[in-house]
Structure 1
Amino acid sequence: MSFNSLGLSDALLKAINKKGYTTPSPIQQKAIPSILEGKDVLASAQTGTGKTAGFTLPILQILSQGKQLSHRPVRALILTPTRELAAQIFENLKEYGTYLDIRSTVIFGGVNQKPQVAQLRNGIDILVATPGRLIDLQNQGLISLSKVEILVLDEADRMLDMGFLRDIERILKVLPAKRQNLLFSATFSKDIKKLAMGILHNPVHVEATPENTTVDAIIQKIYPCAKQKKTELIIKLISEGNWKQVLVFTRTKQGANKLTEAMISAGIKAAAIHGNKGQGARTRALAGFKDGTLTALVATDIAARGLDIPLLPHVINFELPNIPEDYVHRIGRTGRAGASGEAISLVSPDETVFLRDIEKLVGLKLPKEQIPGFEPDPNASTEPIKAGQGRPQRNSTPKKPKTDNKARSNNSFGPRRPSQNNDRRSNR
């Protein structure tokens, strides 16, 4: 199947061809025709499936063929959990919309809101946003969502993990009741299904897994390791292997900082990316990693969600995630586009339960290889890591920060947030 068979306009096909794409991915083949028909869509799609183009292409076409209003109100709203993913979607819109008269912009917290507000005042057709900053600007009367025709919730499972459910509900209340709804999620918990039922109307269900599955495209290895020797081992692997690009996952922001400092001290060019880093630092770190200036990028799950890093050769789980699905998301960033990839996990005794859950999920007994000198203590406890050292499990309810009760009572979104310049969760 080619993109020509999906019903896309000549302008979009020209942009697709310019990017060098010829064959749509499975999620694109399934989602694009249904979206063009105006149907609600419930899509199961992970990172690496081409899902972003699966909704940006038809949205661009629908809006370009509709009636253009002179003041350009927001007609399509794309909600996403993190700054990096929001920026990636915006870039996707710009590239595919090269030959169309469609304006789009992106807003997120952690940066000055003035340039974002200036873009909004000039009029835009498509808005990509993280929930926190969107509500901040709405509270200030700087944006209207009354003309939205299409709503996209991208990575809905991650938005719920990050505690955005109430924000999503607030945003839904000010949108027009008649609209097209698209919900994309890698997993479908009870909360996701409940959210979908409240938003979608007779949705078309589409499903796709990454083009290269974890089994076929990625070499997976488990290195049992004493907890206190993990840093030494990861430095050994990178240095002796002469690796040029490796994405490393830690469970916490503090752990990412500590590991990064150790790598730098060992002569490895590294940077950390997580919620305590400013947007400028995060952007520079990602750019340096992509252009080869940095060898190692150390990230938490939320900060790395949605990162688009082509042809990544190595992923290391410095610590296993306590949610098995996150393992699939992590290693799915390597072994793309027909390239080989390697995913290594350093597993200490207290992560035994996490490893068992991951193997159950992927349906594999992952091969183990013992590096001499890094053996774990055979008498070490295999009790899971204490609660609080990782993100909450999916069925937990994140605590909501206190809001300013002195805010205007007539605000349609409820209490105003303490700061308009911070997206308090999307900056993780």
Structure 2
Amino acid sequence: MDLETIRKMDANDPLLSFRGRFELPEGVIYLDGNSLGALPKATAARIADVVSREWGQDLIRSWNKNHWIEAPRRLGGKIARLIGAKPHEVVAADSTSINVFKALSAAIQLRPDRTTILSETGNFPTDAYMMQGLAKLSGGRIEPKLLPAADIPAALDDQVAVLLLTQTHYKTGRLHDMAALTRAAHEAGALVIWDLSHSAGALPVDLNGCDADFAIGCGYKYLNGGPGAPAFIFCAERHHDQVFPALSGWLGHADPFAFKDAYEPGAGIDRFQCGTPGILGMAALECGLDLMLEADMAAIRAKSQALGDLFIALSEARLTGFELASPRDAERRGSQVSIRHAQGYSIMQALIARGVIGDFRAPDILRFGLTPLYTRYEDVWLAIEALVEIMQTAEWRETRFATRSAVT
């Protein structure tokens, strides 16, 4: 495939107009939207208005006048449209890690006679760490268990309270079969939590269609909410009134402004709120969500798969010494392509120095996020061109590229 053909693919892209609605630095090829989404152009003006008018002029009146207090539920309803949930089953709140804890502790309450919380080895660390912390808090009653993905179905016995899995693996982009695994867990009497951090906004998700129990995810990757954007939590309606939140913060109270001494869980998903929402973060995330909701998810998924297929084809045709770490089958792959190389860190730093931004995941993964709203097919071509040159010239061997930064 030549560059002229690839440019024709861009010209015929039904999502092409969305690219102009993001701030994308000149001369930069950004392939890290699976780690931090690009800045929507509408966000800066929205944040400025929140700061100067809503905060600066309306002050505390903005909780009512500018609907700050409604932001977690309002944004939750918008996220629900992207993940196959009902508006009243999702709330935007806190961080992904905190919401993992909320979901795990809720699931354990719903299965009090069971002692195992199960996930896969190599899952994103915060999920495993929260499992371990909750087990420690239980005084030994709860046992966290991590197994290879292939061993998960057979491990679903009568002691498993909850299965926690990330739908799209953060390193490889491998997709779990959400419907099949949820069904298997339910047949064993266990509940399921799905981490959608690398799925929400990148591919169609149907939580209710799969009969999921809980889900969590972040707002700063494909939802383009900005660094540290609020996360979200989903709880199926059937579980709402059965859970007493372990993190029983004041905003999750049934009547938070009554300021009572005793906690009474709020109705429905409101009980999964905890502390005061960060309004600046909510405002930025809402801009990303509104932009995302204008696009057709089927078109997003089709382009994501085509971008991944193109990346794999070009890299295998032009590079040696790399190993494909992502599934070759686009149906089994999220919106990223990962390749392995023993010197992956230095190679990625050399790429970034050339203006091609991906990221590195230890020990040997070069990870390239493919964000259909602003990634062009030509970007993939140019990224491979740069990678070929770096390998041919051994540019990556320069000492400056071997120094590890705090964030990789």
TM-score interval, smaller chain = 0.3 to 0.5
TM-score (norm 2): 0.34
